[in-house]
Amino acid sequence: MSLEFLSGLADLPSPIPGLPEGVRYYPGLIGRRRQEVLRVAVAEAVKTAPFYIPRMPRSGKSMSVQMTNMGPLGWLTDKEKGYRYEPRHPVTGAPWPPMPPLLLEMWDWLTAWPAPPEACLVNYYGPHAKMGAHQDRDEEAIDAPVLSVSLGDSARFRLGGLKRSDPSRHLLLHSGDVLILEGPSRMRFHGIERVLGGSSGLLPEGGRINLTLRRVTLA
């Protein structure tokens, strides 16, 4: 059952069972109509906050994803200053565009966190892009959940443990899927191993967009 039918109800849908405590996975939660709403919202945001290629700290190596942000703060990485949050686009110097209301509603509905998200990291994965296993640990509000929305082509998602050496499992994330890491799983290592090109027609140019909502500062 998709978000179109559930968003007006008080009760949350049941996530997929069998995952570790603190990992909530809702396949197909966002129906096609609202996927289109988010696609258009991202396209509008990119007009004022264009995608750019981030670079790794120290080495300055370019990442394979393209990145931008929505919301009061945006997550950045480069060789000079490393991982951090900033209120302005690193290329244009302009403030980040606001998050679409649908994402804010989803945050309230699915997390019930007492403060709104402050950053929506927008990653665009082309056919050969990937994201190595990492933890989301650059936030002051480290107890707040991380909510992730998949749009476009499917991707092989790696879910690890609290240590890089822990065993991992894999999920195939499709367009409209929602994944939440919270509580004891908030600091799990995770990443994208590959994108299945041509598996969705949502994005005219193909590829995958991942929207990651985060609370950055303490409420």
- Domain of 106, CATH number, reads 2.60.120.590
Does 219 reside within a domain? no
Instruction: Please write the tens of the pLDDT for every residue from 83-102.
Output: 999 999 999 999 999 999 99
Instruction: Evaluate whether residue 14 is within a structural domain.
Output: no
- In a domain, residue 135? The reply is yes
DSSP states of 10-62: SSPPPPPTTSPTTEEEETT-S-HHHHHHHHHHHHHHHHHS--B--B-TTT-PB
99-158 per-position pLDDT tens digit: 999 999 999 999 999 999 999 999 999 999 999 999 999 999 999 999 999 999 999 999
DSSP summary character for residue 214 = E
pTM exceeds 0.75 for this model: yes
Specify if 129 maps to a domain: yes
Domain assignment present for residue 133? The answer is yes
Q: What is the mean pLDDT of the chain?
A: 94
**Given this model, what pLDDT does residue 81 score?**
95
Is pLDDT at 9 greater than 70 in this prediction? no
Question: Is 69's pLDDT higher than 70?
Answer: yes
Domain count, the chain: 1
In a domain, 13, yes or no: no
Whether 188 is covered by a domain: the verdict is yes
Q: Taking 50 as the threshold, does the pLDDT of residue 7 lie above it?
A: no
pLDDT (0 to 100) of residue 13:
83
* Residue 8: per-residue pLDDT: 47
Domain housing 136: 3-8+22-214
Asked, for residue 136, whether it belongs to a domain, the answer is: yes
Q: What pLDDT score was predicted for residue 95?
A: 98
